[in-house]
Amino acid sequence: MDGATDSVLILKLWLFLVLTIAILGNSKLDHAKVNQHAGRKLAEIPGFISIDCGSTEDSIENGITYVSDKEFIDTGITESTVSGYSGQLLKTLRSFPQGKRNCYTLRPDQAKNNPYLIRARFLYGNYDGKNQYPTFDLHLGVNKWITVKTDLPLTRGIIHVPTTDFIDVCLVNIGHGVPFISALDLRRLENSIYRTESGEALASIRRYDVGGSGPMMRYPEDVYDRFWWHFSSKDWIQIATNESTYTQSSDNAYKIPDVVLMTAAKTRNASIPLSYSPADETREQCSNSKCSVYFHFSEIEKLEPGQKREFTINLNGETNLTESVKLDYLNPQTIARTSLPVRGMGLNFSINAAEGTQFPPILNAFETFALIEQPNQPTAADDVEAIMEIKKLYRMTRNWQGDPCAPSEYSWDGLNCSNDNPPRIISLNLSSSNLTGEISASFSSLQAMQSLDLSYNDLTGPLPELLAQLQNLSTLDLRGNNLTGIVPDALLEKSRVGKLMLRLDENPDLCPPASCKRRKKKDSVIPIVASSIATVLVLLLIFSALAIYRRKRQGGMVAKSNIKMKSRQYSYSEVVSITNDFKTIIGGGGFGNVYLGTLEEDTKVAVKFLCPSSNQGYKEFQAEAQLLTIVHHQNLVSLVGYCDEGGNKALIYEYMANGNLLQHLSGTNANILSWNERLHIAVDAAHGLEYLHNGCKPSIIHRDLKPSNILLTDHMQAKIADFGLSRAFSTDSDSHVSTRPAGTIGYLDPRSHATGNADKKSDVYSFGIILFVLISGRPAIIRGSMEDTHILDWVITMIERGDIQNIVDPRLEGEFNTNSAWKAAEIAMSCTLPTAIQRPDMSQVLIELKECLDLVMAHGRSQRFNTEGRTLGLSLEEIPVDLESDIAALAR
Ligand SMILES: *[C@@H]1O[C@H](CO)[C@@H](O)[C@H](O)[C@H]1NC(C)=O
Ligand SMILES: *[C@@H]1O[C@H](CO)[C@@H](O)[C@H](O)[C@H]1NC(C)=O
Ligand SMILES: *[C@@H]1O[C@H](CO)[C@@H](O)[C@H](O)[C@H]1NC(C)=O
Ligand SMILES: *[C@@H]1O[C@H](CO)[C@@H](O)[C@H](O)[C@H]1NC(C)=O
Ligand SMILES: *[C@@H]1O[C@H](CO)[C@@H](O)[C@H](O)[C@H]1NC(C)=O
Ligand SMILES: *[C@@H]1O[C@H](CO)[C@@H](O)[C@H](O)[C@H]1NC(C)=O
Ligand SMILES: *[C@@H]1O[C@H](CO)[C@@H](O)[C@H](O)[C@H]1NC(C)=O
Ligand SMILES: *[C@@H]1O[C@H](CO)[C@@H](O)[C@H](O)[C@H]1NC(C)=O
Ligand SMILES: *[C@@H]1O[C@H](CO)[C@@H](O)[C@H](O)[C@H]1NC(C)=O
């Protein structure tokens, strides 16, 4: 209780001092104002930032211009104190009724790795009329500095070496009233002074000019604008000199002002030490941490020539006998005792004359500091820069104050960070945040990002390709915006291989739909003939095979096929209604998105759009449309129709409910394909490919066979898709055929890769690789820590060892027929032989695979697989078609 009353007494004394200074400050202010009015512009002081919080205009204190705080913070409310006992500077303040943490961001020229004195001042002054002062925390960057709790004017300073290019001073609401601040100073210090060993900050406890008198000393006497209070003790004798000390001396690295050093205190004689033990308040501040003391000495008494004052310093009762301090006349000397562990009573010291010397000890000035640990690391600088850019661009107003990630209890709303040191931003959710404008490239600078949700905003413009460079991005949600342009291939590819969950629905103008819409306006004069056209088309689909069949039997082929083409065509508006305004993206290809559509009677379709800006895609569109309208087989994905309105192209395929084979084989898929399912898929695919090779004249070479091009129906029937790269070849002499290399690494025949020639046997090779992938469940390129291995190299080593158990997908847990596995591996092996002539034709492969399937069916091992659901397809479909004449007909 005694301590409490003591501290109140001390505070009252301080208040008295502050009042005196305030009055002095005021008179100086008026003086400065006069000067300003007289047209003398006050120069900005280098290394100083001086802020008058809550004020709208500049004010001047001690010749320092204090500017309004509005450039340094975008939250809080400006207020004025009620009580009139403060100077101009402390009259206004800024309070923070909203948000847990509000921060001033100070950006001096060279913040990083340079020491700064940061000083905050507070005067409650009953500004809110509640007569109840708040208690709140003050943070320096990501670490706590002090708790503020007083209705008296309070000044707190700290010396800190920032690790960032800026300095945040944050007021944190801890649930005991609204935080506020009256003034904020930043002073750049010399690089070499006040250094701590482990990067702790130094919170000022006391800074005393011993032996002085008058008001507090600061700028311009002190170039760093330190506040020097006067101090004396009853047993101390005050002394002073009229001679300037050698303040320019290199010994005065701390730039202690002359006036401070020109006064001092000593004791009566050499046997009496100069002792200091702090007031209660100081004990409180120092007792929980380490402290540092800086003693500043200068001999100001002229002693006999050749004689020197010599003394030792005793800290907290520990005498240091090893070293004594000797002073030279008028030469400043600073003795620092740093990182002193302090327990219980706080820091005290005594200065004793060295043994055998006659002069009493002397002290000119001293400073005490509490060491403030900096346990939290700020967020990685690149992430901070990017998120600041985002904050600025979209004018984010939430609690986006101070460091994004640290301390974790005050991290920004809508983002999550990693626990790394430094922390990284790993997810950002700005869903429904009224964001406008384009998607900033800064999002792609958040390199550690895993999830980005910008859904339901008003974002416009293109989708930046740079986002695909975020290697860990697994969720990208952009639904419900107004994006335009093309979806970058790189993103679609990531989405397709299952690395990225990409949500793009409800972006009406995102390409391809955008282009269609624009052109629709032009084409809107064309009347839509029948609303039931879709129904007609479904019927057409059912009878399409029949149509081909009939056409081949009848004459007048040209006219008929033209009619057929026309009737399979959909208008853009039909496509919009089929896809429910492009609501659901189910995939993407090299040239556009694939949307889910529904025809009447709930027949699902997949609508593939072609982006007009992609010329290559345009060619592929035509090739695919032409081929698919003619080619029909139960194991080839069939074309329901297409849209070709203005420059807008869309292909409407039958919907394959079970996605593609790649998805089923991926490590993340929980439903593991059984061995029998795999064999059925292999037979289906072989069937489809065999038809392309031998059922069509001339043959169709697929050129890009891979698991993602093998689609599965709801009954797990496999069909080959993506004829975009296919060409109908007349002969090998047709030179244009071999000009464009195509295919996918891993599945591409090395032979055709080298020459650019693709033929049936290159498809056979790709098929062989698919077989190995099916058997082993491994990708075509097996990623290793050191290097990547092609599946063929891996499999050959295994086969040489006779090790079929280790080839077959371990996820099957041995649930497979060994004989059929060996046979399947042999077939795959023959398909991938280096010389084309050694490889079998697809008809041979099909026969062998069927035998392989018979092996397991005879064994009766097939459980999960439901054969009843499999459609056998119209036998009509397998009638060979004459593509040359059909394409010729289409061309007319
Ligand atoms: C300082 O100068 C004043 C007047 O110039 C003089 O009265 C005083 O004695 C001097 N003090 C010392 C310590 O020399
Ligand atoms: C020092 O001063 C103290 C108190 O005034 C006195 O008792 C003591 O004798 C003095 N010592 C010397 C060596 O003068
Ligand atoms: C000074 O500190 C030491 C160690 O904490 C303590 O034992 C001693 O009593 C203190 N002296 C005074 C005068 O407070
Ligand atoms: C005593 O002096 C030595 C030599 O300067 C120094 O290393 C040591 O830290 C000092 N001890 C204390 C307690 O100040
Ligand atoms: C952050 O993590 C929490 C807990 O896992 C989760 O509830 C929240 O949705 C995440 N926020 C973002 C922006 O991802
Ligand atoms: C983002 O936040 C919204 C609601 O605020 C929530 O519905 C959505 O799931 C979040 N997104 C992610 C990726 O967590
Ligand atoms: C977005 O704007 C609407 C209307 O101006 C407003 O009601 C809503 O609170 C805003 N939402 C956010 C997250 O700022
Ligand atoms: C991506 O995630 C991996 C695994 O968690 C991690 O090692 C890597 O550092 C992350 N990449 C980035 C750029 O953060
Ligand atoms: C999308 O942008 C277009 C053109 O800028 C505008 O006319 C349309 O109203 C926007 N749509 C929405 C849903 O904001």
**Overall residue count recorded for the chain in this entry:** 892
Ligand 7 is surrounded, with C-beta below 6 A, by 433-434
Range of weakest confidence among 238-247, 348-357, 406-415, 874-883: 874-883
Any residues with CB less than 8 A from the CB of 756 and at least 6 apart, and which? 738, 739, 740, 741
121-136 core/surface letters (b: 16 or more CB in 10 A; e: else): bbbbbebbeeeebbeb
Q: Which CATH number goes with the domain that contains 704?
A: 1.10.510.10
- Give me the residue label for tokens 């967020």: 379
Backbone angles phi, psi at 416, to 5 degrees: -125, 150
669 and 817 in a common domain? yes
Hey, which residues does 508 pair with through a beta bridge?
A: none
For 138-160, how does the pLDDT look when each residue is reduced to its tens digit (9 = 90+)? 999 999 999 999 888 899 999 99
Q: Whose CA is nearest to atom 1 of ligand 1?
A: 242
**Ligand 2 first shell, C-beta below 6 A:** 268-269, 271-272
Residue range of the domain that includes 576? 519-655
Does 343 reside within a domain?
Answer: no
Q: Would you place residue 725 in the very low, low, confident or very high pLDDT band (cuts 50, 70, 90)?
A: low
3-state helix, strand, coil in the chain (%, to 5): 30, 25, 45
Distance CA 872, CA 638 (A): 15
How confident is the model at residue 470, as a pLDDT?
Answer: 95
Q: How far is the CA of 455 from the centre of ligand 6 (A)?
A: 9
Looking at the DSSP bridge assignments, the partners of residue 764 are none
Q: Residue 459 falls within a domain, yes or no? A: yes
Residue 672: what pLDDT?
87
CATH number of the domain that 407 lies in?
Answer: 3.80.10.10
- Kindly report, residue by residue over 261-296, the tens digit of the pLDDT: 999 999 999 999 999 987 766 656 665 678 899 999
**Residue 362: strand pairing partners:** 266
Instruction: Determine which residue's CA is closest to atom 12 belonging to ligand 4.
Output: 320
Q: Report if residue 211 sits inside a domain.
A: no
Return the residue whose CA atom lies nearest to atom 13 of ligand 3. Answer: 277
- Which residues sit with their C-beta closer than 6 Å to ligand 8? 447-448, 471-472
Q: pLDDT tens, 103-116?
A: 999 999 989 999 99
| Structure confidence at residue 25 (pLDDT) | 39
For ligand 1, which residues put their CB under 6 angstroms from it? Answer: 240-242
CB 449 within 8 A of CB 426: yes
Query: In this structure, which long-range contacts are made by residues 274-277, counting pairs with CB atoms below 8 Å and at least 24 apart in sequence?
Result: 274/236, 274/350, 274/351, 274/352, 274/360, 274/361, 274/362, 274/363, 275/233, 275/235, 275/348, 275/349, 275/350, 275/351, 276/233, 276/348, 276/349, 276/350, 276/366, 277/345, 277/346, 277/348
> For residue 244, what pLDDT band results from cuts at 50, 70 and 90?
confident
- Which of 610, 639, 655 is where one domain is finished? 655
Ligand 8 mean position to 429 CA, how many Å?
Answer: 19
Phi and psi dihedrals of 739, rounded to 5? Answer: -80, -35
- Residue closest via CA to ligand 1's atom 6 equals 242
Q: Which of 477, 498, 515 is the last residue of a domain?
A: 515
Are 680 and 712 in contact, with CB atoms under 8 Å apart? Answer: no
Of 438, 440, 431, nearest in space to 477 by CA = 431
Residue 229: closest CA among 242, 250, 219, 215: 215
**Ligand having the closest approach to the CA of 414:** 5
**790 plus 679 within the same structural domain:** yes
Whole-number Å distance, alpha carbon 239 to ligand 1 midpoint, is: 11
To test the pocket of ligand 9, the residue of 509, 510, 581 to mutate (highest count of ligand atoms within 8 Å of its CB) is: 509
Measured distance CA(507)–CA(657) in Å, rounded: 24
Counts for the chain of helices (H) and strands (E), in that order: 20, 48
Whole-Å CA distances, 181 to 29, 78, 95, 103, 107: 21, 10, 7, 11, 19
679 and 815 both lie in a single domain: yes
Nearest CA to ligand 3 atom 11: 348
Ligand nearest to the CA of 459: 9
Residue 217 lies in a domain: no
Ligand in closest contact with the CA of 447: 8
Return the active site residues: 704
Give nearest CA residue, ligand 7 atom 2.
434
Please work out whether the CB of residue 336 comes within 6 Å of at least one atom of ligand 4. no
Ligand 8 atom nearest residue 418's Cα: 14
Of the residues 266, 267, 271, which should be mutated to test ligand 2's pocket, given the most ligand atoms within 8 Å of the CB?
271
**Is residue 366 one of the residues assigned to a domain?**
no
What are the C-alpha distances in Å from 187 to residues 49, 51, 106, 159, 254?
Answer: 7, 12, 11, 9, 14
Flag whether pLDDT at 803 surpasses 60. yes
Which is more confidently placed, 546 or 477?
477
Instruction: Say whether both 677 and 783 belong to one domain.
Output: yes
Is 158 found in the same domain as 134?
A: yes
581 ligand 9 Cβ < 6 A: no
Decide: 842 and 690 in contact? Cβ < 8 Å.
yes
- Report angle CA 364, 367, 372 to the nearest 5 degrees: 170
Q: Report H helices in 593-674.
A: 615-630, 661-665
Q: Say whether both 560 and 460 belong to one domain.
A: no
Q: How far apart are CA 114 and CA 443, in angstroms?
A: 30
- From the CA of 455, the nearest ligand is 6
Residue 100 annotated as lining a ligand binding site: no
Which whole-number Å values give the CA distances from 518 to 196, 521, 648, 661, 686, in the listed order?
66, 6, 10, 36, 43
Average pLDDT over residues 538-550: 36
Q: Ligand 7 centre from 383 Cα, in Å?
A: 26
Proportion of the chain above pLDDT 70, given as a percent: 77
Q: To test ligand 9's pocket by mutation, which of 460, 482, 507, 515 has the most ligand atoms within 8 angstroms of CB? A: 482
Task: Name every protein residue with a CB atom under 6 angstroms from any ligand 5 atom.
Answer: 414-416, 427, 429, 451
Closest atom of ligand 8 to 424 CA is 14
Task: Write down the pLDDT at residue 594.
Answer: 84
Mean pLDDT throughout 180-206? Answer: 92
pLDDT of residue 389: 95
466 shares a domain with 408: yes
Strands 639-645 and 696-697: unpaired
335 lines ligand 4 (CB under 6 A): no
Ligand nearest to the CA of 506: 9
Ligand 9 centroid from CA 102, angstroms: 36
- Residue owning the nearest CA to atom 7 of ligand 7: 434
How much is the pLDDT for 22? 41
**Boundary-marking domain end, from 199, 221, 240:** 199
What pLDDT does residue 363 have? 97
d(CA 581, CA 577): 6
Those residues whose C-beta lies under 8 Å from the C-beta of residue 379, and which sit 6 or more positions away, are: 387, 403, 404, 405, 406, 417, 422, 423, 424, 425
pLDDT digits (tens, 9 = 90+) for 466-524: 999 999 999 999 999 999 888 888 888 888 788 899 998 888 887 643 333 333 333 33
* Residue in 434, 453, 455, 456 to alter for ligand 7 test, most ligand atoms within 8 A of Cβ: 434
Residue 324 placed within a domain = no
710, β-bridge pairs: 720
Are residue 10 and residue 80 in the same domain, yes or no?
A: no
284 C-alpha to ligand 3 centroid (Å): 14
For residues 75-91, average pLDDT: 82
Q: Is residue 312 part of a domain?
A: no
- 750-763: pLDDT as tens digits: 877 777 677 899 99
pLDDT of 545 higher than 70: no
Which amino acid residue places its CA nearest to atom 3 of ligand 5?
Answer: 416
Separation of CA 614 and ligand 8 centre (Å)? 33
Question: How far does the centroid of ligand 6 lie from the alpha carbon of residue 377, in Å?
Answer: 28
Q: Which residues pair with 292 in a beta bridge?
A: 369
With a 6 Å cutoff on the Cβ, whether 458 touches ligand 9 is: yes
pTM: 0.60
Q: How confident is the model over 390-399, as a mean pLDDT?
A: 90
Q: 453 C-alpha to center of ligand 5: Å? A: 11
What residue's CA is closest to ligand 6, atom 7? 431
Give the residue, by CA position, lying nearest to ligand 2 atom 5. Answer: 268
Overall average pLDDT of the 816-832 stretch: 91
656-711 pLDDT per residue, tens: 988 889 888 887 777 889 999 999 999 999 999 998 888 877 778 888 899 988 99
- The verdict on 712 and 839 lying in the same domain is yes
- Choose the residue to mutate in 453, 473, 477, 501 for probing ligand 6, maximizing ligand atoms within 8 Å of C-beta: 453
569 lines ligand 9 (CB under 6 A): no
Q: Is the pLDDT of residue 18 over 50?
A: no
- Whether 323 lines ligand 4, by a CB cut-off of 6 Å, is yes
Which atom of ligand 5 lies closest to the CA of 414? 13
Q: What angle do CA 628, 630, 636 make, to 5 degrees?
A: 50
The answer to whether 582 touches 508, Cβ cutoff 8 Å, is: yes
806 located within any domain? yes
Ligand nearest to the CA of 340: 4
Average pLDDT value for residue range 840-853: 92
Whether residue 528 sits in one domain with residue 484: no
Is the CB of residue 431 below 6 angstroms from any atom belonging to ligand 6? yes
Query: Mean pLDDT over all residues of the chain?
Result: 79
Same domain, 474 and 621: no
List beta partners, residue 644: 649
Residue type, 424: R
Structure tokens at 820: 């059929």
> What's the structural domain count of the chain?
5
What residues line ligand 3, using a CB cutoff of 6 Å? 277, 316-317, 344-345, 348
- Whether the per-residue pLDDT at 735 is higher than 60: the answer is no
pLDDT digits over 589-627, tens only? 555 678 889 887 788 888 887 665 444 445 556 666 666
Residue 459 CA to ligand 5 centre (angstroms): 23
Atom in ligand 1 nearest the alpha carbon of residue 243: 14
Q: Does residue 801 share a domain with residue 707?
A: yes
**Gap between the Cα atoms of 181 and 77, Å rounded:** 11
**pLDDT at residue 724 greater than cutoff 70:** no
CATH number at residue 82: 2.60.120.430
CATH number at residue 535: 3.30.200.20
CA of 386 relative to ligand 8 center, distance in Å: 18
Of the candidates 387, 399, 381, which has an alpha carbon nearest to the alpha carbon of residue 74? 399
Residue nearest ligand 7's atom 10 by CA: 434
